[in-house]
């Protein structure tokens, strides 16, 4: 994760960013229609905005978070105190410039940071939904985000940007709501979730469900938390976010605070200690049932499948301009996934740019200070802003 030295005090940062932290209740009169066929009424959406919406409401950028992200893209996380997950990218004078753009980042449907999810109270029972929460999809997440744009008075966002599951949301948004988006930046993502990725998700879910503290999903009622299962899920997943080169460079076979191997099962190696730490800090900020639901939503993500096997049909004659970015060492969402999207967009006669960034940091590279990533995002947004004739002067 990015380290930001000399991070200003949260209050000063809030002011500098023109940050608004809010939760709004949407879908009160008309419940949210879900892909499963079920509906969800009165849905809370926790969101942050940074910067100011301009007079003609044309400078909004929707930032979509990944599986374990949340609306704290810039502001420090309330539980961990760490800088926001994209604080290196978004801010005044930064790549995604809050002096120019109005940034909207909301917690996804099914999340656990304020948007309605399995730990929210089910109005029908007065208890948390837990496993009564309906299974959701990436399409459902995006449908809810559109309701938030309606609420904020943004008919058409200038851009949507996101990595990993955030990138899936960007693609879904561009496909389902092409009129609501000028340009799209899906990063380190795919249009069809792979068998390997479903397999990793299943390992995570089984780890959670194998923890007796999970209590068949009802741990909230029992005042228990499946710490161990969720930590193992996180540890396994975390490996997939890195690369062999990154692990070797960072840890190699270095031992943790000892001179020689211990002939036991304590954390001999630094890499073990690191993963245990990743697991244990994760459980403090994430809900185990949310993890089940959101990984399931990714498993179900299959844009070509929803368009008769032809991804190009998802984007036929789209006015949205795309810039795809992948990383050479990302084996979770490899470059071939992005290339498949580029091919489909070309077949759909869409305007598409594509860059494969050289990096040995694996999938996580999209969160890191990769100069080529940042140069590409900056260049694309600047070029698109000129194309869209965006004015950054007057604000509302």
Partner 1 sequence: MATTANHSGTGIRIDLQIIADMIEPNSRVLDVGCGDGELLAYLQESREVDGRGMELSMQGVQKAVARGLAVIQGDADTDLVDYPGDAFDYVILSKTLQATHNPRRVIEQMLRIGRHAIVSFPNFAHWRTRLDLIVKGRMPVNELLPYSWYETPNIHFCTIRDFVDLCREMDVGIKASLSLDAAGEVQKFTADSRWANLFGVDAVFLLGK
- By the rule CB under 8 A, 55 interacts with partner 1: no
- By the rule CB under 8 A, 311 interacts with partner 1: no
Cβ 311 to partner 1 shortest distance, Å: 12
3-state SS track over 287-355: CHHHHHHHHHHHHCCEHHHHCCCCHHHHHCCCCCEEEEEEECCCCCCCHHHHHHHHHHHHHCCCEEEEE
Residue number, 250 or 387, with CB nearest to partner 1: 387
Distances (CA, A) of 139 to 14, 168, 186, 190, 303: 31, 9, 15, 14, 10
Residue number, 276 or 374, with CB nearest to partner 1: 374
Tokens of 343: 């091919």
Residue number, 282 or 327, with CB nearest to partner 1: 327
- By the rule CB under 8 A, 357 interacts with partner 1: yes
Cβ 379 to partner 1 shortest distance, Å: 3
- By the rule CB under 8 A, 379 interacts with partner 1: yes
DSSP state of 115: S
Cβ 228 to partner 1 shortest distance, Å: 43
Q: From the candidates 211, 329, 353, 363, which is the catalytic residue?
A: 363
Tokens of 121: 């109270």
Cβ 312 to partner 1 shortest distance, Å: 8
Q: From the candidates 120, 164, 329, 338, which is the catalytic residue?
A: 164
Task: Identify the residue among 30, 266, 284, 375 touching partner 1 (CB under 8 A).
Answer: 375
How much of the chain is helix, strand and coil, in % rounded to 5? Answer: 40, 20, 40
Cβ 314 to partner 1 shortest distance, Å: 15
CB atoms within 10 A of CB 196: 12
Whether 164 is a known active-site residue: answer: yes
- By the rule CB under 8 A, 358 interacts with partner 1: yes
Cβ 188 to partner 1 shortest distance, Å: 15
Q: What SS3 class is residue 182? A: strand
- The size of the interface with partner 1 (CB under 8 A), counted in residues, is 26
Task: Identify the residue among 356, 368, 392, 395 touching partner 1 (CB under 8 A).
Answer: 356
Cβ 350 to partner 1 shortest distance, Å: 8
* First and final C-alpha spacing in the chain: 34
Whether 330 is a known active-site residue: answer: yes
The DSSP bridge pattern shows strands 121-122 and 20-26 to be unpaired
The DSSP bridge pattern shows strands 96-97 and 90-91 to be parallel
Whether 360 is a known active-site residue: answer: no
Angle at 130 between CA 124 and CA 133, to 5 degrees: 65
Distance CA 360, CA 239 (A): 14
Return the residues of window 166-225 that contact partner 1 according to CB under 8 A: none
The DSSP bridge pattern shows strands 90-91 and 127-128 to be unpaired
Q: What SS3 class is residue 5? A: coil
Question: Per CB under 8 A, which region of 16-24, 153-161, 273-281, 351-359 contacts partner 1?
Answer: 351-359
Question: Per CB under 8 A, which region of 19-27, 212-220, 244-252, 374-382 contacts partner 1?
Answer: 374-382
Task: Identify the residue among 33, 254, 258, 387 touching partner 1 (CB under 8 A).
Answer: 387
CB atoms within 10 A of CB 247: 15
Task: Identify the residue among 372, 391, 392, 395 touching partner 1 (CB under 8 A).
Answer: 372
φ/ψ of 60, rounded to 5, equals -80, 135
- By the rule CB under 8 A, 321 interacts with partner 1: yes
Cβ 342 to partner 1 shortest distance, Å: 6
CA 284 to chain centre: 19
Closest CA to 145 of 173, 103, 124: 173
- By the rule CB under 8 A, 386 interacts with partner 1: yes
Residue number, 41 or 379, with CB nearest to partner 1: 379
Query: Angle 270-285/227-241 helices, nearest 10 degrees?
Result: 120
Provide the annotated active-site residues: 164, 330, 363
Q: Which residues contact partner 1 by CB under 8 A? A: 321, 323, 342-343, 346-347, 349, 351-358, 372, 375-376, 378-380, 382-384, 386-387
């Amino acid at each position: 994760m990015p380290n930001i030295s000399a991070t200003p005090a949260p209050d000063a940062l809030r002011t500098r960013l023109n940050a608004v932290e809010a939760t709004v209740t949407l879908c009160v009169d008309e419940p949210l229609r879900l892909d499963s066929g079920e509906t969800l009424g009165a849905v809370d959406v926790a969101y942050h905005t940074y910067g100011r919406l301009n007079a003609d409401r044309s400078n909004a950028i929707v930032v979509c978070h990944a599986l374990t992200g949340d609306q704290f893209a810039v502001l420090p996380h309330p539980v961990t105190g760490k800088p926001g997950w994209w604080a290196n990218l978004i801010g005044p004078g930064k790549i995604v410039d809050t002096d120019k753009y109005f940034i909207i980042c909301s917690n996804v449907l099914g999340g656990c940071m304020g948007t309605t999810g399995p730990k929210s109270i089910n109005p029908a029972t007065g208890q948390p939904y837990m496993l009564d929460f309906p299974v959701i999809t990436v399409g459902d997440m995006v449908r809810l985000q559109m309701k938030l744009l309606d609420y904020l008075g943004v008919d058409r966002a200038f851009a949507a940007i996101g990595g990993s599951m955030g990138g899936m949301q960007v693609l879904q948004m561009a496909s389902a709501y092409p009129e609501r988006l000028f340009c799209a930046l899906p990063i380190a993502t795919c249009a069809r979730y792979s068998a390997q990725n479903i397999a990793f998700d299943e390992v995570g879910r089984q780890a959670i469900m194998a923890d007796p503290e999970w209590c068949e999903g009802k741990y909230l009622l029992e005042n228990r938390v499946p710490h161990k299962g969720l930590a193992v899920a996180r540890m396994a997943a975390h490996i997939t976010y890195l690369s062999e080169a990154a692990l070797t460079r960072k840890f190699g076979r270095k031992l943790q605070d000892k001179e020689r191997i211990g002939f036991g099962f304590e954390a001999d190696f630094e890499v073990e200690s690191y993963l245990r730490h990743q697991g244990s800090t994760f459980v403090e900020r994430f809900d185990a049932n949310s993890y089940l639901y959101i990984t399931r939503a990714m498993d179900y993500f299959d844009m070509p499948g929803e368009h008769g096997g032809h991804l190009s049909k998802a984007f036929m004659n789209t006015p949205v301009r795309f810039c795809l970015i992948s990383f050479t060492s990302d084996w979770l969402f490899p470059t071939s996934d992005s290339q498949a999207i580029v091919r489909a967009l070309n077949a759909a006669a869409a305007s598409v740019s594509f860059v494969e960034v050289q990096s040995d940091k694996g999938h996580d590279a999209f969160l890191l200070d990769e100069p080529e990533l940042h140069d590409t995002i900056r260049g694309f947004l600047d070029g698109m802003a000129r194309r869209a004739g965006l004015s950054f002067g007057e604000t509302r």
